[in-house]
Structure 1
């Protein structure tokens, strides 16, 4: 299931990666630095509100859909999920409107935050559709929906910015596209709910599982957004824009890989555990973690190595210089964050001990807040990027240690040291290439680094890639000979 998911979700993640980079390229040029800072703050507010109110329901859909299918009562499961969502959705707009009205924000920022909060309900409802499709193994349907949401929101958002809506434009684009996708997909979801009934005991189980997940994600948001609010408080919105540009460039480059792996890996591990028990889970987890390290560690090192030419090409002139300083630190933080979220945290959800997940997240969240308060007033943007990298590294260690009490997962030690050796060879190669600037330097260094890394990995047969490749070649030759 994992390999099928990797192939099936690849187009969606290529689209997400391209759109993520285009978002930085286009938004940092169409929006003024202060407007881009307002967009970053509004994005943080939207993510926090979504997670606080709706994420626990989405987590329950992802975790218990496969089990409900096995038991033959999926309609009851879905009715319970959607009715809980409807109750929360009834009160959310009222609370959000009052909060925006009372917030002591400048007019442009208030407009951006208001637009961001309007998209929360539509995004959450379509997220339930996505999680149900992934859990049911509907890879093609889930992938198409992901692509429609990602590409459509970007294009409509750019159009709204061009119409003069500023930082509010991207969020209005998200809302419009999510509503359109819901109009197309909800009929199928309603059909699957036919004949089901709401079950309070089931909702209680889902809340006990999902609420700690949501609380832990809120702490994750604290790590990823506190720095922006403190930069705005101690400096200004322009500083937020500079930091967010560098942060987004590194984080999105890594995140698109981790999301792809998570789309395929999360449902695969749940299915393995539900159908084959611990032995099947062990095999699935080992395969996933090795592939994750071999793919994402060189990406983090590579982004750090080419930070200057990358920001020159991708980020608007007013933000590029500062963003280049931020990108390497955030790249390493993004590696630890991705491994933690998309692999180490699976131990808590698989073992259904999500309260331990909340405990694990309090450690890096508290450390991040403390470091930002200490470092930003003295070092500004540099303090924020240092705090990010340190917090995520500590968070990974804490999640691994506590996760062993929930559902021990194997660590890919062999893949780690082989990827580390290959990354050293890659770094020595890239650093030997002169700083030419712009697209030429970026192309030369990226190509040389990728070739050297791939050669070393194949030479070491990391993850059995060389052996599998030779096996595929032999199989193809045998079929051709027949």
Structure 2
């Protein structure tokens, strides 16, 4: 074929891809579910964000450091003990929709077994650390309650019930905050905050039994359980490695420095996560079950389309938030966490780009392995990143302190992105993110240019004006670039015709 003909074929295929990406059938369903998840996750995220601010002020840096070490220990244990079962539910409930009763019965049986194993594992720990037995018992109870609640959430998610999902999530967040504040006010300190978290899990967990688990029996089906383990456990190991990247630096900070430093680092990180990660997670919560449906029906391109649109939606709204957080880190931390934490505001300069890269890895490239069941490749990606992060933390924290921990996180996620991109091309090739990604980065650059030019502005009103102006420039730039791109596509389409 001559060069002119080849160019025409390429242009024609590009137009076809773009037309499919604009089809309303799947994209509209994705947007509708995303809005519902946004309502649930958004309200819950705002409550969690307020919780961080309130706990940081009530417990101060030292107390907040201990509180987060306990909670993070629970999350790490949950990642290895309970996470794999949740992953399997999301993957197999769409397939076994007609036999849902059998699936939830097996899930219940496995949960009870894991609860017994967890209790047996914790007994010698309680005996060895007898002086801290109360806090360890609370950890165990939170672990079991968190596992049950998360399973119930994912049953609602896999069943495409975003309203039920949001109601449970909001109820848990609100009750946890209210109980924790009351118990802290009663003088229980860190223990009160932890018991409040437990109470906030138990009440919606009981409601979830009526919504999701009624009629389930303790029935163990070996073949179905084997499918769960084969698919979910390697991915759970990968998520455990990902959790290590998030949480291990906090334990190393406590080891190399002190509990106060843990409180400073964790408060900044958790505040950022509450704002940023829920934005990136919402489209994924809505889109991934739809992508699984498309893949199971043999609609490979439809699956690729959903994954691409899902990630781009999350990135489109994340970038302006990142710009504001980096550009106004000092006043933002001072306002939300108080003067005790403002000395660590610079951590946002490192953690914001780290979490953006994490979103690219977790919510796009790694989905190639989730869809196809290539669990061991996913485990290899996150295991390598966790190893790099651990080594760098050990090297950097003693020398650079909290900046070293944040820098190690950024490097680890960049490493994960490179490996995941390479392996995903050999597993389940994903659609290219360009030119949409290029337009987003150009708009973000325009926003940052405005923030730099207006940096001499001081005071509450000028700072607010800077933020509004920067965000406005971002969206206007994106609209102009998108319009030019559409016009170019229409011109290309007419040339091909």
Q: Who is 1:273 aligned against?
A: 295
**Which of 440, 449, 453 is residue 474 of structure 2 equivalent to?**
453
Matches within 5 A, 1:215-254: 215-254=237-276
TM-score where L is the length of structure 1: 0.90
Q: 1:26 maps to what in 2?
A: 54
- Is the CA contact (8 Å cut-off) linking 1:261 and 1:292 kept in structure 2? yes
Identify the match of residue 115 of structure 2 among 74, 85, 89: 89
Q: 2:397 is matched with which residue?
A: 376
Secondary structure in structure 2 of the residue aligned to 1:67 = coil
Using the alignment, how far apart are the partners of 2:459 and 2:386 within structure 1? 36
- CA contact 1:261–1:342 (8 Å) conserved in 2: no
CA contact (8 A) 2:109 2:219 kept: no
Q: CA shift at 1:336, angstroms?
A: 1.1
Deviates more, 1:400-409 or 1:3-12: 400-409
Deviant stretches of 4+, over 6 Å: 462-467
- 1:60-139 equivalences in 2 (<5 Å): 60-69=88-97, 72-103=98-129, 112=135, 114-139=137-162
Q: Give the Cα–Cα distance (whole angstroms) in 1 for the partners of residues 83 and 253 of structure 2.
A: 27
Shifted more, 435-444 versus 151-160: the winner is 435-444
Which residue among 340, 343, 347 is the counterpart of 2:364?
343
Map of 2:64 onto structure 1: 36
Alignment of 1:275-290 (within 5 A): 275-290=297-312
Q: CA RMSD in A?
A: 2.4
Find the counterpart in structure 1 of residue 321 from structure 2: 299
Q: What's 1:471 paired with?
A: none
Q: State the alpha-carbon separation in 2 of the partners of residues 445 and 118 from structure 1.
A: 47
Contact 2:90 2:155 in 1 (8 A): yes
Comparing 441-450 with 16-25, greater Cα deviation is found at 441-450
TM superposition shift of 1:249: 2.3
* Cα distance, 1:432–1:115 mapped onto 2, change above 3 Å: farther
Q: For the residues of structure 2 that align with 1:438 and 1:284, how far apart are their CA atoms?
A: 44
- CA deviations 1:277-331 (Å, max 9, x no partner) are 2122122122222222222233223321221111111112111222x01112111
Partner Cα separation in structure 2 for residue 309 and residue 457 of structure 1: 27
Is this contact kept in 1: 2:241–2:386, CA < 8 A? yes
Contact 2:280 2:311 in 1 (8 A): no
- 1:477 corresponds in structure 2 to none
C-alpha displacement of 1:13: 2.0
1:462 CA drift (Å) = 7.3
* Structure 2 unmatched ranges of 5 or more: 1-28, 489-497
Change (3 A) 1:23 1:443: farther
Classify 1:117/1:344 alpha carbon distance in 2 versus 1 (closer, same or farther; 3 Å): farther
Partner of 2:221: 199
Q: Does 1:264 align with 2:291?
A: no
The answer to whether the 8 A contact 1:153-1:176 is kept is yes
Q: Cα distance, 1:414 vs. partner?
A: 1.4
In structure 2, do the counterparts of structure 1 residues 111 and 268 end up closer, same or farther at CA, with 3 Å as the change threshold? same
Q: How far, CA to CA, are the matches of 1:271 and 1:204 in structure 2?
A: 22
Taking a change above 3 Å as real, the CA distance of residues 360 and 312 of structure 1, as seen in their structure-2 partners, is same
Cα deviation digits, residues 389-443 of structure 1 (max 9, x gap): 1111211221222222332222312121111111111011112224666754653
- Return 92-101 or 42-51, whichever deviates more: 92-101
- Give the counterpart of 2:426 among 389, 400, 405: 405
Is the alpha carbon distance of 1:341 and 1:117 closer, same or farther for their aligned partners in structure 2, counting shifts above 3 Å?
A: farther
Q: Is the 8 A contact 1:309 1:441 kept in 2?
A: no
3-state SS of 1:342 partner: helix
Q: By how many angstroms is 1:383 displaced?
A: 0.8
Name the CA shift for 1:355/1:210 in 2 (closer, same or farther; >3 Å). same
Residues 97, 330 of structure 1: alpha-carbon distance in 2 compared, 3 angstrom cutoff? farther
What is the aligned partner in structure 2 of residue 334 from structure 1? Answer: 355
Deviation at 1:116, TM superposition (A): 3.3
Change (3 A) 1:438 1:95: farther
TM-score, normalising length from structure 2?
Answer: 0.87
In the alignment, is the contact (CA less than 8 A) between 2:284 and 2:310 conserved in 1? no
Q: Which has the larger radius of gyration?
A: 2
| Shift, 1:144, TM fit | 1.1
Equivalent pair of 1:329/1:385 in contact (CA under 8 Å): yes
Partner of 1:147: 170
Q: The residue matched to 2:428 in structure 1 has which SS?
A: coil
Shift of 1:216: 0.7
Name 1:366's counterpart in structure 2: 387
- Find the aligned partners of 2:382 and 2:294 in 1 and give their Cα distance: 26
Contact 2:40 2:163 in 1 (8 A): no
Identify if the C-alpha distance between structure 1 residues 377 and 151 changes in structure 2 by more than 3 Å, giving closer, same or farther. Answer: same
Displacement of 1:224 = 0.9
List runs of 5+ in structure 1 lacking aligned partners: 468-482
Contact 1:231 1:240 (8 Å CA) reproduced = yes
Per-residue CA shift, 1:55-109, capped at 9, x if unaligned? 111111111000001xx222222111111111111231242243244249x85xx
